[in-house]
A and B are shown apart, each in its own frame.
Chain A
């Protein structure tokens, strides 16, 4: 089992994702350079947060054209596990691996704070170790996290149970009050129809130790590990 963390010029959560997998999860992990088309036999790819290529045009708009994304798309389409966090989520939207788009936060400012998200679906490789309805405390840090999509897409997302995480309050009682950025249907994270590609705006890699205020993000990485172990067994 090996994780790959893509490094775009301007990625700035690449080290954090690497650290979480290497030092906390204690699983093999490797950086994959943006100009490489070789994914180094990784079993799961992580697109980290940051400002790929500066994000001066539109978040993720340049990154989608990078050589590594060709390989990541191919990997995803053949069933490979891909997780995009923050900027990584934005890139997955731009490259079309996930539906919808990101707009500027409704408050028109960068927001960094801890938020609470509810696990809506557990039959995905990114949430299978969580329990349905579990509330996770995880920080966000973004300017463009206002998820939006048209009505048909939203209907499909809900129908196919692709909304994995939704913003909510600590008690999980009032989703709208817990929505920090104006996202449609309080969406914090979604997966594709095939459930092997997911993106979320909160940073699970920043919530992997109690010393950092929360270890709730670990469940997402643990889910990925379990899914990989399961897949390995199935093919064995």
Chain B
């Protein structure tokens, strides 16, 4: 789109170019009672874009459970907020930055992190942790993947990782967890979802609600430039074509140093007591922040663009209102006390300018050197945008027969080679190459960083005294392949796994946030997936006691008409009442008894279902190249029982380690618990191995690599064994003693009396620890 000028007369064609349908444009005319000018049209187009208005998802999102006794703030604010005791609250939210990260991986990822951090400190909470959930196309050439495509994906991985690292490291927030997945569908459309967590005193929380007619509206932070214009409406709300690279100018550019200053200055300004409301300028910049603050307060806002700090000359009102320049905030101060606020920003060397005031009459009024540039009723603009009940159609059923499914190897087959291959596959292999590029320990709160525990665990220092009592655990999860096969079931697994990870760290799951990544909502089958995912999410969050407190929907994740797998990413937050009771995944000492906790009763399943569900596993994909069937059946009551059991075991200090069974099954869980004694190449303590004996009737591969839920491996000192078995029984969880932690380098799993896996730990570790690095470094 050419640079728009105020003089341009708006026609239905120009409205269409802005992504507004004929009906939407008619609604604009009706709200205004006249034709909009070009600035007003721009404002409507961003506010009513899919990205900002949730017009296709709104009707479905209403079905999500959002209430709970610990929920202080549910969806609708900058972030969700939960009560974590002693007058403190945690603010957390996950958001996508998918489209920009494909167009420009480094800047796309940095601004994704920057945006979610601003959402947290806008509420008055200091960010204490970031997690990233990433999905990329295959990074190794092979069947259906050319070397060119793999190389391109590796470049995207590298750019995204550097971008996340650059922003978080400089800002000074630890990036402590997340997950990375690889599927062909993400080749043209990687997913970058960033979650941030912050802590505040409950009475210090801030909201984006304008109050007090005559109160000054203050612009703070970076100057406004022409970057990111229409980022929300054109980039995030339309699918990609071959020409998408031309959208690079729509990607914003991040400056973590500026954001760090903004954080400190905002928190300090809030302490003056002179700040009434505050909102960050993210998607749709000045437009969205003014409109939403006015609308939420039932008031109007009037601003003069001539006073807005500008990076470039000759910017039109259209450009200033639609710019998505980063690291900017809008706040409302108490009239007469604006100097107190401005002084703080001056101290930090930041621009802070009174650009307008709160008014009666619910109008967003934008002036440019005294001339009226736009005048729109704020409430209809923010709240009365289009809402669509898009057509839904279930795609035709896949006509699979047992011949399409995985067929189990004959009894007695040595599976060690397959196991080594599985451990080295990008999905399972250690992501240390990635996580070492993130600062994971700044702020000295990280009790369990990447890979140490099933969840990232951050202790809570009282903001005033520094005293530590509790800790928070966070995990993000989502399995796109499972959601493609069965959106509802796959989503329930995502919630269950995130909550299980949190419980395996010893924390009680308390609330959730979600980032829903989908193809085009204009496709009925995508909307069917979306609706199914919402249903799965509702059921699982209800059952597991983790209400949704916020999140983000990202549609139009498709390129050349091909959608990504439906990929809901769920972040679950949990609390550890005693920060010293964190459970980690690593076996600790020779002689510990290894116990499989199983609340699922998987053994009761019939044979055909086994092959069908196993066909959706990592093992099936990696070893046989089969991705079919169904995700494992789920029993949410069993998940809940297992989680209760894990929390109870952590609280009483009865177990030495805990690690849930997920991708790659029990075998991977056990191996990873041995690896934890090794730190990279360097091991400070004695090396540990495991001797395992499994006596079951199901096929060995199913037993070793099956991914059915509601299971975890714990290790127990012999003296605590009776206590652990007793707790498990009380929780309704089967506890099976499957082996022992041994000193040395041996890893052996026996099945029906013969060794099906036998290897040195060193060999397994090498495959797991270095594969990822080898692939990314080799090119």
Contact = CB atoms under 8 A, between A and B. Distances in A.
Contacts of B256: 51, 54
Interface in A169-225: 169-170, 177-178, 203, 205-206, 208-209, 211-212
Given A12-B442, A19-B444, A19-B466, A51 B437 contact: no
Contact of A13 (B172, B679, B684): B172
A66 to B, nearest CB: 12
Interface stretch (A39-47, A73-81, A104-112, A228-236): A104-112
A156 interface: no
Nearest to A170: B684
Interface residues of B, number: 40
Which of B257, B348, B467 has the most A CB atoms < 10 Å from its CB? B257
A214 to B, nearest CB: 10
Interface in B206-265: 255-258, 260-261
B686 to A, nearest CB: 12
A110 B439 contact: yes
Given A12-B442, A13-B442, A50 B172 contact: yes
B441 A12 contact: no
Contacts of A170: 682-684
B437 A111 contact: yes
Nearest to B161: A109
A112 B257 contact: no
B334 to A, nearest CB: 26
Contacts of A58: none
A178 B681 CA distance: 10
Contact of B442 (A10, A55, A141): A141
B384 interface: no
A114 to B, nearest CB: 7
Nearest to B171: A12
Interface in A47-73: 49-51, 53-56
B286 interface: no
Contact of A16 (B436, B444, B468, B681): B444
B744 interface: no
Given A16-B443, A54-B257, A212-B447, A22 B466 contact: yes
A206 B440 CA distance: 11
Contacts of A50: 172
B441 A203 contact: yes
B772 interface: no
Contacts, number: 96
Given A19-B461, A110-B437, A112-B441, A212 B172 contact: no
A10 B261 contact: yes
A212 B437 contact: no
A23 interface: yes
B446 interface: yes
B462 to A, nearest CB: 10
A110 B169 CA distance: 9
A231 to B, nearest CB: 28
A109 B444 contact: no
Contacts of B683: 170
Nearest to B683: A170
Contacts of A10: 170, 257, 260-261
A210 B120 CA distance: 29
Given A13-B442, A16-B444, A19-B466, A112 B682 contact: no
B684 A137 contact: yes
B442 A53 contact: no
Contacts of A12: 170-172, 260, 442
Contacts of A23: 466-467
A48 to B, nearest CB: 10
B441 A141 contact: yes
A113 interface: yes
A211 B684 CA distance: 17
Given A54-B170, A109-B437, A211-B459, A206 B442 contact: yes
Contacts of B437: 109-112
B257 A56 contact: yes
A231 B165 CA distance: 42
A98 B467 CA distance: 36
A53 B441 contact: no
A143 B170 CA distance: 11
Given A13-B172, A141-B169, A112 B439 contact: yes
A172 to B, nearest CB: 11
A139 B769 CA distance: 20
A51 B683 CA distance: 32
A65 B258 CA distance: 19
Contacts of A209: 444
A9 B442 contact: no
Interface in B334-351: 348-349
B150 interface: no
Contact of B444 (A22, A113, A178, A205): A205
Contacts of A161: none
Interface in A107-133: 109-114, 116
Contacts of B447: 211-212
B257 A16 contact: no
Nearest to A51: B170
Interface in B660-689: 679-684
B579 interface: yes
Interface in B590-615: none
A178 B680 CA distance: 11
A108 to B, nearest CB: 10
A9 B348 contact: yes
A143 to B, nearest CB: 8
Interface in A11-52: 12-13, 15-16, 19-20, 22-23, 49-51
B261 A9 contact: yes
Closest 6 pairs between A and B when the two form their complex, measured CB to CB: A12-B172, A54-B257, A170-B684, A141-B439, A23-B466, A51-B170
Given A54-B255, A178-B682, 15 more contacts: A10-B257, A10-B261, A16-B443, A19-B466, A51-B170, A54-B256, A55-B257, A110-B166, A111-B436, A116-B682, A139-B441, A203-B441, A206-B444, A212-B444, A212-B447
5 contacts: A12-B172, A56-B257, A205-B444, A209-B444, A212-B441
